[in-house]
Chain A
């Protein structure tokens, strides 16, 4: 439906502001079905500066046929008779219309526990993660978070009993929360109304609509109603608008729409629980948001066992002269539109020197050589940036660097891959070949997820020589390819998210049959053990079956929506999973988000593998568009990289403006990012001209039996965990035993290493180093200074810098020592150790 298209709303300055240039009604068209059906309508005004605001509160409505429907205050239209009614909104001197199709008003909607009782419990916060929706419930009463599993909730309410995490057995005596003989004495009513002591206080009043609904339900024998089917199962919640911008104290209604399995939609604005993360930025009443202090927060919306979110930005007064920067591609449209709505000015385009260093490090992990820097800075070719991007993407350093990045993500290393160097090598070669051939990312995912036999990607199923537990393996695949952390749901339904324990184990079951064949530990072949073929299991009373840890039911592979895998028991179930995963929207959005973070230091959703309703994207429409573009281009990683780095957003300068200095999440200017340990060590080697030597043990000890060939870069180490490097350890090289998370934060050890570490001191003093060579060539101080500035910073020194350094050298009686100090200072500076 058109009204669901992503739209930014901004409130223009009110009062003295000019009237809107147009208004519109959201939704523009809707269907209402059944007795008592209603639809919340919003009236949105659009202003000359592109801003929008909610005018619903000041709208005068007129219906084409008042017999068909009635309009309640606040813009809620209630159906009366079948037919089509046109609602005309008049606000701020303008009008707009919406068409509503009313059908089957004679049909009384059947009672449904999940909606009619569960909805109340959700809206009143009873089943929230801070109350009875916690893992074990509260006060002996357990409800599923947000009413996600209504069957369970029904049991707990109607039959009572204590919840246990490790078993489905009910703990203690069962005390029903309802009283069929005397409904008003039902615990669920007495507690919620505060008639008897209740830790959660009063949730609703005696006689309220909620009270009456529950009372009538109990009096009617507490039915469950129909089972969930296509016609009554909500599959998604949608919030309009997804991003709201408000000036202080302004308000905006949120429109909550439920999408059913049969494709039907229904207004759930009156049945949802809305909560704001940061109540100093905004507050919420019902589903109306009110702005507080300047800032950005998210509104979490829960209904029907699902969750969704919207972002709220509270903005300052309009900027006097807001200049709209040129846009290079669709990324800029989304980013600059949001900046404009937030009234944050974007910084200017980066300088050539800034761009050159940034793009070289981001695409290849390599500093540009001084002569290349000179050429690039001297060129006046208007296409030189685009040309450089293409050039860099075709370099062997690009393959080296992205192999290293994906080695990290896929955890290539000896110890994570079964304590066998050869296995690690096979796996590493698979990654390298995939990057070098620009293998589509969905194909990489398929090959890794469904890997059988003895090929490279199978090795990641053999951490520490054994097949990893199914749950852990599945959780890692989900983090890597879906960007979701399902781990919590291993032991219980996720307390904050819509991940249930059943979903977790349904997915885990895809990996439950992964087995290894082999004896000595060097020859393991990975295969999927059929559950109905013993293959010797009977000899040890073993079983390949996987059981739900709580219900003890045998698990069958099931997708997130509960679809159980069909097909032969002898087939590789992971093929079906891989096929489903790469087509799932999560796959592309997780991939583009992860790639985005490589270039901006943070994901649109950050952390990149923590997509959840309570951690929404800063730019949801951009994320969607990037994901769509990635899919449309065959999951081509190089296309994605090219798209990102070609955007003006990526190429903005790192110099902030007064108006965007505090911005950390909206990409108004480039943020400095610490170089990875491997990249900075390589960079030190490049600048000094003394590459690092990597040995398989501490150098010059008997354990150092192997050594990487001379000139091997840190990013090209095939088995990094075998090659000792104190520098890399100090600077945060991950051991890849778990999914790497590089903090990039400086530490004291780094500072000490700068002062006395071999990577700095030995290289500066090395006779084969560049400094010594320049010295031997009799270069002047200015020449040396310029050479090292170009090598380390990719720019020429400013005059003041040159003078200060010349003065430093002159003041030191030992010129060589002074020059070493100068280069050391360059290498220790933030400008060198960061990409900016």
Chain B
């Protein structure tokens, strides 16, 4: 066995310290959610809860409709991600394989539009959904996200990397575009699609600004905004706040632990839409 070098030990110490800082808020949130009122306000703080209670969860679930918020978040995420994935596949295929007038120019315009911040279009989108009469309805959290230039761009790039000769061979054999897309392109692009779905799900689950604008009644709120109103309107105590926050974060933590490699690769390739 090699003897430990001082530099290796220092390297590990630094990395471990950094990792602990990155992960500490999650540890603090989850342990805090099980602490009693005395335990959470103790100073010096208890790194490990001395007394464990489930009361905070019961209190949070009883005072605010977190089950409803959770369901709304799931509905909004599943619906917007499925619709968006479908429109993305169709558009990416058209831009990658089909030939039509103005294809390059249109795609260039779309790329330029990608630079426009969401915070700018939000002004008009807010009025659009009011005029459409879907303000304060769950569908207002779904249809503005029914198509995404960003994901279309990512998928189009992947489609471009599939050899064109494959497409021509299939066309010679009389395979329709539709059949080729679903039988050849989509199966090959599965890892890419999987990453897009993951990133989109995370973005939808965590979105805060749009739900804050588009919804105001309790029965259509999603988790992040529901959590925020629960804390500000109720003046929730720390331990209750941590229990409610854990409810919001836990599904994404589980998703991350299971799919870490895909998420990290996706972010490394395309960046996260922030």
Do A and B come from the same complex? no
B residues apposed to A, CB below 8 Å: none
